[in-house]
Structure 1
Amino acid sequence: MELDDAYANAAHIPGGADYPDRWAAQAAAFRSAARCELDLDYGETDRLRFDLFHPDRLARGVVIFVHGGYWLRFDKSYWSHLAAGPLAQGWAVAMPSYDLCPTVGIAQIGDQIARAIDVIARRVPGPVRLVGHSAGGQLVARVMAPRDGADWQQRVACVVPVSPVADLAPLMRTSMNKDLGITPAIAQAESPVHLPPPPCPVTVWVGGAERPVFLEQADLLAQAWAAPLVTVPLRHHFDVIEDLGLPDSDLTRAVLA
C-alpha cells in the first residue's frame, strides 16, 4: 500500500534482517548472568508476563521498558540486555510482554501495559521511569493519559518515547493495518499527539538516520507536548535503542534524569 515502504525499517538498514537474532542472543546471554525474576504474571494470557532485573544494591526505583514491533511481533525476551545501563546506576528494570494484534487491538494493548505498570509499581517502591521503543514509544506515551485507579501515574518521574509512533493515522495506509485494525476513531483516541502531555518530564528520542516518517513522528510528539527532542546522529531505528544498555550513555542519562 501507499506507505508500506515509508514505514519499512529493516529493508533500509544494512543487515537489518539480522538484528532480531542478534538481540535475542544478547538478551539470553544477559539473563543467564543477571539477578532477575522471569515470567512474572500480570494478567490472564500467556503473554502477560514481565521480567524484573535487580541491581546489586537496594533499587532506587524502577525503569520499565516497553518493546516495539508495530504491536505485531517480538516480546520481552529480545531486550533483556538493555537493562544493563539502568541496573549499573542502581535502578531495577522491568520488561513486560503483551498480547499482539490482531488477537487484541492497540487500545487493549495500552490497557495491558497500564496493568503491567501497576503490578510492577506495587512490587518495586520508589519512582517509576518509562521508556518505550517504536510502538512501545506510543504505549508509554498513551498510558500516561488520565485513567481511573492509576495511582501509579503519580510516581512516574519521566517518560522517554524512543522513535515513537505518535500519530497512528498514517498506518491506515499500510498493509499492516489489516492486522492492526486502526480506524479514524482509534487513531484519534490512541495517538499521543492528540492527548494532553503528562505532568512529568518527557524527552522524545530518535535516530538521525531513521526513515523520514519516524523523524516526523518524533517531531510531531515533541511539538504537541512541548517536549525536548533529541536526534542522535547516524543512529537508525534498530540501533537507536542500544545505548540504553550503557550506564553512561546520553539515553540512559535521559531516562534517569
Structure 2
Amino acid sequence: MDRAYANGAFIAGSDEFPARWQAEADAFVAGLGGRARLGLPYGASEREGFDMFMPQDIPKGLMVFVHGGYWMGSGRETLSHLAAGAVARGWACAMPSYTLAPAARISVITGQMRAAVAAAATAVGPPVPIVVTGHSAGGHLAARMACDGGPGGVVRVVPISPVAELAPLMETQMNLTLRLDAAEAARESPARMQPRADIQAHIWVGGQERPAFLWQARLLSENWGCDWTVAPGKHHFDVIDDLADPDSALMEACLGGL
C-alpha cells in the first residue's frame, strides 16, 4: 500500500517541482502588489492562516484552494501562483494552511478548513459564491467542505486528485504520523458521505496518476453521482498547473457558469 500511494517515485524530475513552484509563487505575489494580502489569521495557532489574492475589481466570488502534502507537509506559500486563473477571471482566491499531522489529526484539520473558508468569506466582504478546490489531501478537505457541517456559502467543490476513502492509508507507513483508526477513517472519508443538495461537485484527476488515485477519484464521483474528468497526460504533480490559466478546462470546471 505504501507503493500505491507513492507519487514522486513514479514522476520523472519530481524533486524539481518544489523549487519551480516556489519561484512561480514568488513572482506572482510580487506582481500582484497590494492585491496580495498575506498571513491573515483564521485561528490561534501558527499555521491557522491564509493568503488572499484579489482581482482588480469587486470580486465576482471566492475560490479557496487547499494544498496537499498528505496532511503532513507543504503549505500555501509554495503554490500562490495557482491563484492566477481565478484572479484573472475576477474572483478572489484564498489559500489557507493548516496544522500538520501529527500535531493535528485529520478530523481537527477538517475543522480548521471550515474556519478558514468562513474567515476568507468574511475577508472578501459582502456574500459571494464560494468554490472550494484542493489537491490530494487538499482534495479530501475540499470534498469535506461539501458535506454536512461544512461552511455556508459554498456552491461548488472541485476536488483534484482527492483521497476520498481513507481506509487504505491505515495500511501505509504514513499512518504512524496520521494515526488514523477505523472510526476516524469512516467519519472523514467523503466517499462514504453525500454532498449537500445545494452544492455542485466535479472531480478532477490526472490520466497518468497512480492507479490508487484514479480509483479514489472514480469512487468519489460514482458515490456522489457527479461528473469526473481524467486530464490526459497529467500526473499527480502537474495536474494542478492549469489552475493558473483562466481559460483552462480545469478553471472552467471550477468557476464556469458562476
> TM over 0.5: same fold?
yes
Shift of 1:195: 0.9
2:135 and 2:221 map into 1 onto residues whose CA distance is: 15
Which one of 123, 128, 141 corresponds to residue 143 of structure 2? Answer: 141
Q: CA deviation at 1:196?
A: 1.5
Q: CA deviation at 1:21?
A: 1.5
TM-score (norm 1): 0.96
Corresponding residue for residue 160 of structure 1:
158
Query: What are the equivalent positions in structure 2 for 1:7-86 lying under 5 Å apart?
Result: 7-34=5-32, 35-86=35-86
RMSD of the alignment, in Å? Answer: 0.9
Percent identity, aligned pairs only?
47
Equivalent residue of 1:47, what SS? coil
Q: Tell me, what secondary structure is at the counterpart of 1:5?
A: coil
State the one-letter code of the partner of 2:17: Y
Q: How does 1:150-189 map to 2 (within 5 A)?
A: 152-153=151-152, 155-189=153-187
8 A Cα contact 2:49 2:98, kept in partner: yes
* SS of residue matched to 2:200: coil
Q: 2: distance between equivalents of 1:43 and 1:197?
A: 26
Give the letter aligned to residue 139 of structure 2: G
Superposed structure 1 runs of 4+ greater than 3 Å apart = none
Secondary structure at the counterpart of residue 220 of structure 2: helix
The CA deviation at 1:198 is 2.5
Paired residue secondary structure (1:33): helix
Q: Which residue of 2 aligns with 1:240?
A: 239
Shift in Å, 1:122: 1.5
Question: Secondary structure of 2:215's match?
Answer: helix
Q: Structure 2 counterpart of 1:128, which letter?
A: I
Give the SS at the match of 1:115: helix
> Alpha-carbon deviations, 1:90-123, whole Å to 9, x = none?
0000000000000010000000000001111122
Per-residue CA distance 1:20-77 (angstroms, 9 max, x = gap): 1211111111111112100001001111110000001111011000010000001110
| SS of equivalent residue, structure 1 residue 202 | strand
TM-score (norm 2): 0.95
What residue is the counterpart of 1:113 in the other structure?
113
CA–CA separation in structure 1 for the residues paired with 2:69 and 2:228:
22
Gaps of 5+ in 1: none
What CA distance in whole angstroms lies between the structure 1 residues aligned with 2:53 and 2:22? 17
Shift of 1:145: 2.1
Q: Distance in 2 between matches of 1:234 and 1:62?
A: 29
Shift of 1:237: 0.3
SS of the aligned residue for 1:158 comes to strand
Deviates more, 1:38-47 or 1:117-126: 117-126
**Residues in 1 aligned to 2:107 and 2:72: alpha-carbon distance in whole angstroms:** 13
Establish whether residue 98 from structure 1 lines up as the match of residue 110 from structure 2. Answer: no
